[in-house]
Structure 1
Amino acid sequence: MEYTPFPSWPDTAPRLIAVAAGREAADTVIRGGIWVNVHSRETLPDHDVAIIAGRVAFVGPDASHCIGSETRIIDARGRYMIPGLCDAHMHIESGMLTPAEFARAVIPHGTTSMFTDPHEIANVLGLEGVRLMHDEALMQPVNIFTQMPSCAPSAPGLETTGYEITPEDVAEAMSWPGVIGLGEMMNFPGVINGDPKMLAEIAATQRAGKTVGGHYASPDLGSDFSAYVAGGPADDHEGTCEADAIARVRQGMRSMMRLGSAWYDVKSQITAVTEKGLDPRNFILCTDDCHSGTLVNDGHMNRVVRHAIACGCDPLVALQMATINTATHFGLEREIGSITPGRRADIVLSSDLTDLPIETVIARGRVVAENGEVAVDCPHLNWPAKARDTVHLGHELTSTDFEIAAPTGANRVRANVIGVVENQAPTQALQADLPIVEGLVEGEGDVCQIALVERHRATGGVVNAFVSGFGYRGRMAMASTVAHDSHHMIVVGTDRDQMALAANRLAEIGGGITIFRDGEELALVELPIAGLMSDSPATEVATRAEQMVKAMQVCGCHLNNAYMQHSLLALVVIPELRISDLGLVDVRTFKKIDLLEPLS
């Protein structure tokens, strides 16, 4: 299916004017609803909305003059007419779904616009992978805008990716339809230090008049932060406390507050608005990462808005943060984000502003969902064979590949250990004194092994280390080819034989997630596209993901959304300690460190 561009406002202006003036009949009129006006922050009862060619032509107390014999009437009496919800920062791949299936999953939740950074697939397939994501996104019945990934690798010199993104790639992508800007600039040390490559990517984006996404994952709000802001990033979603949110908006950035499957950063930051009284127009809500189970069972941006309201935010302010604030930030205030003349007719009908039940969803003037059921097709791209053949280990792994040799003559050894933090992206840099058995260092207590298995170039490389916080017991292992951002393979386990079984299983099926215990596979989520996504329906992927969560619990892990923690253990741009194909990385200093240290 070819992409058909949505008609521009200038192309439809004559018809919009004719309908508003009563000279032409509207395609659709929504009657008698409560107009949620996010420009004036008001709710105005008994209003009508007239729609023509997918755009709003008229909003007022009476649209009778816009109605003809063929006009569809939607009765909205007693219901709020809310602008379609916008997700300002997200990664479709984190849902383990292709853009088509992601859209199908979120449309019933009222999301009609997404600003997505496909940097996960960029690490695996490069610019070609970004183009595939971009092309399928443009085929959907809702608005999916693409941010060209900026950092593959995310931290040059500390990891090896399948492909690298260059300034030339960024410049090319800026000419594609639907590309709205540059994806999150994760290499914040590069920006701070004036790295020519990073600055060239930012410059290419700014020359195109588009928005540069930020990612400042550091608690330092001093001169380094100022240097990063001066470098051009216009927003940031890595804040975790009120001071982070305040610092960002004071320096002219938009503070993006996220509620994903495992990131709960709204409650700790929204007090900048609810208690400190800062101007809410520079605060934006987003998800960042949501897996399929969250989308199917809990919701998407409707979940984030409800959460913000539960945290004390005025419902109208929360809705602004998920509609007009986002549109304005990306220069799309005249296209999306409000129910006003000329804008795309993206409208949600709901009977309550606090609980926010999503009853009817209209996108581009069409009813796309009713009472939780999708009412339109979400077309699929024909993904090429190359995108389905991305797991190359070099050789069949055995337990020997996961051995950690001990220093000669030692009985115990001190190890640097990655500490998982529940509901947070950052980890802790811990140390543990571990036993030595037959010349090998062994995990003990809550400390188990983690391995980063190279899967892009078939090098056969395996980097071993230790992680704590999962609570695993017995002989088990969990492996995933979703390993932000380099997306090699992460294997965590208490037994080396199980680790080898899990890794080889994913090589066999072409990518995904698996859990083994005592030689038995307890759960499997197949992700054949780039080892990151499935083109199966979201409900099917969510069911398999739920089985995965249950299997993790059977193995002793009871953290909230622990899979998200697992998949981020190789993200070498978020402190404190991570693993990469090049070794153990201290993200506080952006330097590799030794796994083992002598006991003092």
Structure 2
Amino acid sequence: MPARTKHAFPRPKPWTEVATHLVDVAMGRKPADLVVRNGRWVNVHSGEVIAATDIAIAAGRFAYCGPDARHAIGEGTKVVDAGGRYLVPGLCDGHMHVESGMVTVTEFCRAVIPHGTTSMFVDPHEIANVLGLDGVRLMHDEALAMPVNVHVEVPSCVPSAAGLENAGAQLTADDVAEAMNWENIIGLGEVMNFPGVAANDPLMVAEIAATVKAGRTVGGHYASRDLGLPFHGYVAGGPEDDHEGTSVEDAVARVRQGMKAMLRLGSAWYDVASQIKAVTEKGLDPRNFILCTDDSHSGTLVHDGHMDRVVRHAIAQGLKPVTAIQMATLNTAQHFRLEREIGSIAPGRLADFLIVSDLAALAIDEVFARGVRLAKGGRLEVDIPPYDYPARAKRTVKLGRMLKAADFDIVAPEGANEARVRVIGVIENQAPTRALEADLAVADGLVEMDRENDVCQIALVERHRGTGGVVNGFVSGFGYTRDCALASTVAHDSHHMIVVGTNKRDMALAANRLGEVGGGVVLFSQGREIALVEMPIAGLMSDERAEIVAQKAAKLTAAMREMGCTLNNAYMQHSLLALVVIPELRISDIGIVDVTRFEKVDLFL
């Protein structure tokens, strides 16, 4: 495992080491480091907004929250006048994947801190599928060096569905048990093998048991519409939350079973509006709901926001501002057993807070973490040094050979003039797909695409072991109208290479280009490279600044639109087409997979 990284930002001391000092500051016997005066205290414990409040901070923690903190002001105390603005706890993202931002933990933090995110709970199962436990440790150590709280979960399913795909690495129950002893591990990442949990799969049982024994939280992922016995078996198996719900019925079912319903608004997942009705219309207790993002790419982070975007959206659905903020602060902290550390403005907690001028609009003026101002007016005020990923984390794209257009030929059944095939159907703004069927023409023994009816080709190219393997199929929903191909080494969760195209020559060119640059996403059209985002770290993350990555991603999005694609955040939809744990139909390195039955099926019907 890599050696411990020297931290650019000191870790906060445990409360036990500074408690007596906090008492002295609260009593006026010692001066505070920082006092913020005349604020409106958004108290997520009581659900109130308390006017004319002062807060005193020492050793990176809140020492006093009350009507007058003048007794804590000394010669060296910095004093900030809030001017009647709101004091809001720093926002928490209860479930997310850094790799989906196309950037490292460092760059992700640089992008989201100005938006008020001061705590993140990250599941690095993307890098784990490429680099195994070593990749998890690399991200774990990078997270420790951040000026905000980046807690790491141990990935539970690497590969996500054994037998249905072959990833670049594998994690065992012993790996999970070992990682539970690391300093910054907060729990077990989303348990995606929901049939395995319901069937008492020994690996799932062992991983969940190791997590519970360590006193950590077990993350859930129940991506089935079946709320019958398989769901009940899954809940009995130990997962404590779930972010895969898409309907109000999903949210209600999870909360009634003692789970936390995580409602996500990512770059391409819009699941808050439908599920929040469980609170706004059905009156369920909002304490059991958590807001999260799951997957946000760099363009969303830089231009639209992060958890602030989710909170604003929840408020727009009819939630009271304080309730929405509770779902992004205290509820999250309590779920991960960190209520005494984060999630509220209260004595003893880390001094993570925002100064907000408009609560309903969540207009964030200033962002503080551990008592230090990190951002003002939407701009980062501190330098966060880049994390140096070692050479073994790069050049992970191994194609084994140069691909040709013929590698994407789909041979029809012998003697057929037409072929009935399975087609992966993309659903806009949702992770699930539809299992569609289409009758396609056959010419010279090869099945043709049907661009007029939006049926183009999809291929999965093996990229971990250099086998040269290519699995071909069909996909619908992208709307491409021109000759083009989009290739990506971000291909949840096994992260081979997905190529979607209307032209086989462009498909080969795009795949080979990613082999040259070490991974990323590229768009070719009529033999020319139109847009490229290089991601050399595990083929998943860029080593450039978030702003630069966002610019390249924006160029990619614009180029996809020029090709006829009108989907919201189509790249995110593209990257999930190999996710063999979310229904209905997917592609993997073993073939076409029916996720409703968890089995490989033939392309031809």
TM-score normalized by structure 2?
A: 0.98
Contact 1:119–1:485 (8 Å) recurs in 2 = yes
Query: Could you tell me which residue of structure 2 aligns to residue 13 of structure 1?
Result: 19
Query: Could you tell me which residue of structure 1 aligns to residue 50 of structure 2?
Result: 44
Whether 1:25 aligns to 2:31 is: yes
Whether 1:149 aligns to 2:135 is: no
- Displacement of 1:425 in angstroms is 0.3
Query: Could you tell me which residue of structure 2 aligns to residue 195 of structure 1?
Result: 201
Distance 1:251 1:408 in 2: 52
Distance 2:374 2:482 in 1: 48
Distance 1:554 1:506 in 2: 21
Picking from 58, 62, 73, the partner of 1:67 is 73
Picking from 505, 524, 527, the partner of 1:519 is 527
Query: Could you tell me which residue of structure 2 aligns to residue 533 of structure 1?
Result: 541
- Displacement of 1:596 in angstroms is 1.1
Residues 74-123 of structure 1 show CA distances to partners (whole Å, capped at 9, x for unaligned) of: 11022100000000000000000100000000000000000000000000
Query: Could you tell me which residue of structure 1 aligns to residue 455 of structure 2?
Result: 447
Query: Could you tell me which residue of structure 2 aligns to residue 479 of structure 1?
Result: 487
Distance 2:533 2:539 in 1: 10
Residues 27-48 of structure 1 show CA distances to partners (whole Å, capped at 9, x for unaligned) of: 0000000000000000000100
Mapping 1:360-509, distance limit 5 Å: 360-444=366-450, 445=452, 446-509=454-517
Distance 1:352 1:198 in 2: 46
Contact 1:34–1:77 (8 Å) recurs in 2 = no
- Displacement of 1:535 in angstroms is 2.1
Whether 1:556 aligns to 2:560 is: no
Contact 1:577–1:585 (8 Å) recurs in 2 = yes
Query: Could you tell me which residue of structure 2 aligns to residue 102 of structure 1?
Result: 108
Query: Could you tell me which residue of structure 2 aligns to residue 229 of structure 1?
Result: 235
AA matched with 2:70:
S
- Displacement of 1:438 in angstroms is 1.1
Distance 2:243 2:267 in 1: 15
- Displacement of 1:358 in angstroms is 1.1
Query: Could you tell me which residue of structure 1 aligns to residue 189 of structure 2?
Result: 183
Contact 1:477–1:502 (8 Å) recurs in 2 = yes
Picking from 596, 599, 603, the partner of 1:595 is 603
SS in 1 for 2:301: helix
Mapping 1:272-351, distance limit 5 Å: 272-351=278-357
Contact 1:139–1:379 (8 Å) recurs in 2 = no
Whether 1:2 aligns to 2:6 is: yes
- Displacement of 1:379 in angstroms is 2.9
AA matched with 1:522:
I
Residues 123-165 of structure 1 show CA distances to partners (whole Å, capped at 9, x for unaligned) of: 0000000000011011000000000000011000000000001
Distance 1:428 1:551 in 2: 26
Picking from 560, 564, 573, the partner of 1:565 is 573
Contact 1:160–1:581 (8 Å) recurs in 2 = yes
- Displacement of 1:377 in angstroms is 2.2
Residues 505-539 of structure 1 show CA distances to partners (whole Å, capped at 9, x for unaligned) of: 00000000000001111100000100000121111
SS in 1 for 2:132: helix
Query: Could you tell me which residue of structure 2 aligns to residue 86 of structure 1?
Result: 92
Distance 1:410 1:136 in 2: 56
SS in 2 for 1:490: strand
AA matched with 2:78:
R
SS in 1 for 2:274: coil
- Displacement of 1:57 in angstroms is 0.2
- Displacement of 1:16 in angstroms is 0.3
- Displacement of 1:375 in angstroms is 1.1
Distance 2:79 2:514 in 1: 52
- Displacement of 1:409 in angstroms is 1.2
Residues 387-409 of structure 1 show CA distances to partners (whole Å, capped at 9, x for unaligned) of: 11100001000011111001111
Distance 1:192 1:343 in 2: 38
AA matched with 1:194:
N
Distance 2:193 2:401 in 1: 33
Whether 1:547 aligns to 2:555 is: yes
Distance 1:339 1:509 in 2: 46
Whether 1:56 aligns to 2:62 is: yes
- Displacement of 1:14 in angstroms is 1.3
Distance 1:265 1:69 in 2: 50
SS in 2 for 1:289: coil
AA matched with 1:314:
K
Residues 331-366 of structure 1 show CA distances to partners (whole Å, capped at 9, x for unaligned) of: 000000000000000000001111111110000010
TM-score normalized by structure 1?
A: 0.99
Mapping 1:156-167, distance limit 5 Å: 156-167=162-173
Contact 1:478–1:514 (8 Å) recurs in 2 = yes
Distance 2:539 2:189 in 1: 21
Distance 1:339 1:312 in 2: 24
Distance 2:408 2:461 in 1: 10
Query: Could you tell me which residue of structure 1 aligns to residue 273 of structure 2?
Result: 267
SS in 2 for 1:400: helix
Distance 2:32 2:518 in 1: 50
AA matched with 1:104:
R
After superposition, the CA RMSD in angstroms is: 0.7
- Displacement of 1:286 in angstroms is 0.2
Distance 1:306 1:505 in 2: 40
- Displacement of 1:378 in angstroms is 1.8
Distance 2:573 2:230 in 1: 27
Distance 2:68 2:367 in 1: 22
Contact 1:477–1:491 (8 Å) recurs in 2 = yes
Distance 1:358 1:541 in 2: 24
Distance 1:343 1:385 in 2: 39
Distance 2:564 2:240 in 1: 42
Contact 1:101–1:537 (8 Å) recurs in 2 = yes
Percent identity reads 66
Distance 1:386 1:395 in 2: 21
Picking from 177, 193, 196, the partner of 1:171 is 177
Whether 1:256 aligns to 2:262 is: yes
Distance 1:75 1:199 in 2: 53
- Displacement of 1:298 in angstroms is 0.3
Runs of at least 5 residues in structure 2 that lack an aligned partner in the other structure: none
Distance 2:174 2:504 in 1: 43
Distance 2:573 2:448 in 1: 22
SS in 2 for 1:503: helix
Distance 2:383 2:217 in 1: 30
Residues 482-514 of structure 1 show CA distances to partners (whole Å, capped at 9, x for unaligned) of: 000000000000111100000000000000000
Contact 1:453–1:490 (8 Å) recurs in 2 = yes
- Displacement of 1:376 in angstroms is 1.4
Distance 2:543 2:307 in 1: 22
